[in-house]
Amino acid sequence: DQQVKQNSPSLSVQEGRISILNCDYTNSMFDYFLWYKKYPAEGPTFLISISSIKDKNEDGRFTVFLNKSAKHLSLHIVPSQPGDSAVYFCAASGVGSARQLTFGSGTQLTVLP
Amino acid sequence: DTEVTQTPKHLVMGMTNKKSLKCEQHMGHRAMYWYKQKAKKPPELMFVYSYEKLSINESVPSRFSPECPNSSLLNLHLHALQPEDSALYLCASSQVGGHNSPLHFGNGTRLTVT
């Protein structure tokens, strides 16, 4: 049973435009959500997070939106740059003494010059 | 540069070998993790250490044996592995608890079991 789902395996966007990556979750006990970026042969790099008490968090070109009623979050990248091309994972966890992250299956973003 | 360092970067081992993966962090984090990632799949949690004590074991076979010698180090001892255990093994660390405690990952060890 996939508790965190990324239904788009891939996304192509023109440089300078907005990239929107989507993620759905089923476990209502999740209260902390994160986005990671992963290049080949590297570990996941933390991008941005949001706790369930917020509906938006922004950091530079990256904004994460959380819709708790729909159990949906999205990552907006504006403007998209070729260096953003990577696999993006969303992840979620519940309250605990140590964070157990459940990852989605990832979306390959390609930003075309 | 990642603040979580994993060695070796690559490891090839036979099914009868014993080897160890090492992970080190100096961010003062008191939670450390082992994840396994197969190609085209998301990372899957194996073990969690909190304050140097094993707090979560996700039903991992006993041929994988974790060890946390101190708050900065995490090892994964490997013995009698199977070819299907070939994967990228990722170490991560985080603060314990709190709402702004993302996991920070190392670059992983690419393990091939022959």
pLDDT at A85 over 70: yes
pLDDT at B1 over 60: no
Choose the closest CB to B42 out of A32, A42, A106. Answer: A106
pLDDT at A98 over 70: no
**For residues B16 and B47, what is the distance between their CA atoms, to the nearest angstrom?**
23
Max CA pair span of chain B? 43
8 A C-beta contact, residue A48 and residue A90? no
| Confidence label for B80 from pLDDT (cuts 50, 70 and 90) | very high
Choose the closest CB to B107 out of A43, A100, A104. Answer: A43
Amino acid, res. A90: C
Beta-carbon contacts of A94 under 8 Å, excluding residues fewer than 6 positions away, are A27, A29, A30, A31, A32, A100
Q: In chain B, what percentage of residues exceed pLDDT 90?
A: 81
Q: What is the pLDDT, as a whole number, of residue A97? A: 54
Question: Given an 8 Å threshold on Cβ–Cβ distance, is B56 in contact with A99?
Answer: no
B63: left (phi over 0), alpha (psi -120 to 50) or beta: alpha
pLDDT at B14 over 60: yes
| Confidence label for A41 from pLDDT (cuts 50, 70 and 90) | confident
Q: What is the pLDDT, as a whole number, of residue B96? A: 84
Min CA distance, B110 vs chain A (Å)?
A: 8
Structure tokens at B112: 């091939």
